[in-house]
Amino acid sequence: METKEFREAAHQLVDWMADYMENTGKYNVRPLLRPGDIKNQLPTSAPLEGEAFTKLFDDFNSIIMPGMTHWQHPQFFAYFPTGASGPSVLAEMLSSTLGAQCMIWLTSPAAEELEERMMEWLRDMLGLHSSFTGVIQDSSSSATLVSLLTARENFSSYQINQKGFDDTQRFRIYTSAQAHSSVDKDVKIAGFGIDNLVKINVDENFAMKSEDLRDAIEKDSKLGYTPLCVVSTIGSTSSTAIDPIAAIAKICLEYKCWHHIDASYAGTALLLPEMRWMSEGAELADSFVVNPHKWMFTNFDCSAYFVKDKNALIRTFSILPEYLKTPEDHLVNNYRDWGIPLGRRFRSLKLWFVIRSYGIKGLQDKIRLHIQFGQWLKEKVASSKHFELLAPVPLNLICFRYKPDGIVDEKKLEEINSNLLNTLNSSGKILLTQTKLNGKYAIRFVGGSERTTLKDIQQGWSLVEETARGII
């Protein structure tokens, strides 16, 4: 592509992007189509001759856009939000234009040094202890894997990296029954075997029972297992349940267990001093992960991973082939040694743009507003005769179900609520997801997109009430 053509096309795209941001709410939140509808419009083989950009862009508009789910829609209330604020998008434009591979200091000193500084800013903004050092990972799933591998190597004096597992190593990993599925996946990948992941029971708030954790560790120790690591959660995916971090930290110290904290979503709320009770005891943990790419208005991917002992991390992952040696190695961070992939995107740039554009205050205002949305919804559900709240609402996620008069059969309630969810989602006006809590089918409603207003939440809730009335 000639620069002249690029310039024209890019100007056109920027206008498209700004229009999209203004009008996201006018789309159906999710496309109403069948599997295969998009694929069937795409030729089965690649073109031999190059095609004009105008043609590509036409096809983008006519084929791709109708198949998109609009995560930035103000009435996207599903999963957890994923940020894409203006400043973050602008940074991604620059980063992709620079096309730099930021694997070591020399491959872009600015990227490395900005990342160092951004991780310090973020650590301090979230009130994490100054003994933590941060690095950006692609996702929380990777960060948790990195943590498990570091725990493994640290414990085995780096011998499993060298020789592989031997028969005497019977490690146990502990997490709550409400932990994210990435913990299961990471335990498998790290070679521990899923049978060695012990799921600890939760209390009535869906938080880990720390006394049960202690009992499980005691029991395993007696059976000859090595209790290696506890993964605790600040803000579970199902219901934003908050594990008792201080109590867990104490147990980890006592039994010399590694402690990793998964605060992927809710960690952003630590921007608010009034929410710091959630992380009490986190200063004793070995590692901590939070995803700015969820609630901090930063495009996917950007997962901030903080560790106490950066040398253990580096020793677990370092490689030094001749072609990657540089004279500055002893003076700088070479982030290729801080995680799994060698190549790294320039991700600190978007964090810099986002933090400076909003300021700490601007970010705090948004998060506070979103928590108010959650509390508003909680009141609505709590005061309604026909709906039932199924979990506490510490932040902005509510888990509820429709419970019409006289219906108590669990199966029937599940059927009614799954029907309600499908009807709502098929309207294209709103998008929600479901979970199971204590065996009960629950609808999740989380409002945390940048462009969501209280009015959107109110409209969304009215639609839920209206649709429920039509169901039974």
Ligand X SMILES: *Cc1c(COP(=O)(O)O)cnc(C)c1O
Residue ranges binding ligand X (CB under 6 A): 80, 139-141, 180, 182, 233, 235-237, 262, 264-265, 291, 303
- For the CB of residue 208, give the shortest distance to ligand X in the complex, in Å: 13
HEC string for the chain: CCHHHHHHHHHHHHHHHHHHHHHHHHCCCCCCCCCCCCHHHCCCCCCCCCCCHHHHHHHHHHHHHHHCCCCCCCCECCCCCCCCCHHHHHHHHHHHHHCCCCCCHHHCHHHHHHHHHHHHHHHHHCCCCCCCEEEEECCHHHHHHHHHHHHHHHHCCCHHHHHCCCCCCCEEEEEECCCCHHHHHHHHHCCCCHHHEEEECECCCCCECHHHHHHHHHHHHHCCCEEEEEEEEECCCCCCCECCHHHHHHHHHHCCCEEEEECCCHHHHHHCHHHHHHHCCHHHCCEEEECHHHHCCCCCCCEEEEECCHHHHHHHHCCCCHHHCCCCCCCCCCHHHHCCCCCCCCCHHHHHHHHHHHHHHHHHHHHHHHHHHHHHHHHHHHCCCCEEECCCCCCCEEEEEECCCCCCCHHHHHHHHHHHHHHHHHCCCCECEEEEECCEEEEEEECCCCCCCHHHHHHHHHHHHHHHHHHC
Task: Answer yes or no: are the C-beta atoms of 235 and 264 closer than 8 Å.
Answer: yes
- For the CB of residue 322, give the shortest distance to ligand X in the complex, in Å: 34
- For the CB of residue 4, give the shortest distance to ligand X in the complex, in Å: 39
Give the residues across from 397 on adjacent strands: 446
Q: Which is nearer to ligand X, 104 or 351 (CB)?
A: 351
- For the CB of residue 141, give the shortest distance to ligand X in the complex, in Å: 3
Q: Which is nearer to ligand X, 156 or 287 (CB)?
A: 287
Q: Which is nearer to ligand X, 290 or 349 (CB)?
A: 290
- For the CB of residue 237, give the shortest distance to ligand X in the complex, in Å: 4
What is the C-alpha to C-alpha distance for residues 382 and 97, in angstroms, rounded to an integer? 50
Per DSSP bridges, beta strands 287-290 and 303-307 are: antiparallel
Q: How far is CA 241 from the centre of its chain?
A: 15
- For the CB of residue 444, give the shortest distance to ligand X in the complex, in Å: 12
Q: Which is nearer to ligand X, 145 or 416 (CB)?
A: 145
Q: Which is nearer to ligand X, 77 or 461 (CB)?
A: 77
Q: Which is nearer to ligand X, 87 or 267 (CB)?
A: 267
- For the CB of residue 178, give the shortest distance to ligand X in the complex, in Å: 9
Cβ contacts of 193 within 8 Å, gap of 6 or more? 187
- For the CB of residue 137, give the shortest distance to ligand X in the complex, in Å: 8
Task: Answer yes or no: are the C-beta atoms of 111 and 100 closer than 8 Å.
Answer: yes
- For the CB of residue 347, give the shortest distance to ligand X in the complex, in Å: 13
Q: Which is nearer to ligand X, 122 or 420 (CB)?
A: 122
Task: Answer yes or no: are the C-beta atoms of 248 and 281 closer than 8 Å.
Answer: yes
Two tokens, residue 103: 């694997």
Q: Which is nearer to ligand X, 108 or 449 (CB)?
A: 449
Q: Which is nearer to ligand X, 249 or 468 (CB)?
A: 249
Vertex 180 angle, CA 413 and 306, to 5° = 150
- For the CB of residue 435, give the shortest distance to ligand X in the complex, in Å: 12
- For the CB of residue 29, give the shortest distance to ligand X in the complex, in Å: 19
Q: Which is nearer to ligand X, 107 or 141 (CB)?
A: 141
- For the CB of residue 260, give the shortest distance to ligand X in the complex, in Å: 11
Q: Which is nearer to ligand X, 226 or 299 (CB)?
A: 299
Q: Which is nearer to ligand X, 231 or 251 (CB)?
A: 231
What value does the CA radius of gyration of the chain take, rounded to a whole number of Å?
Answer: 24
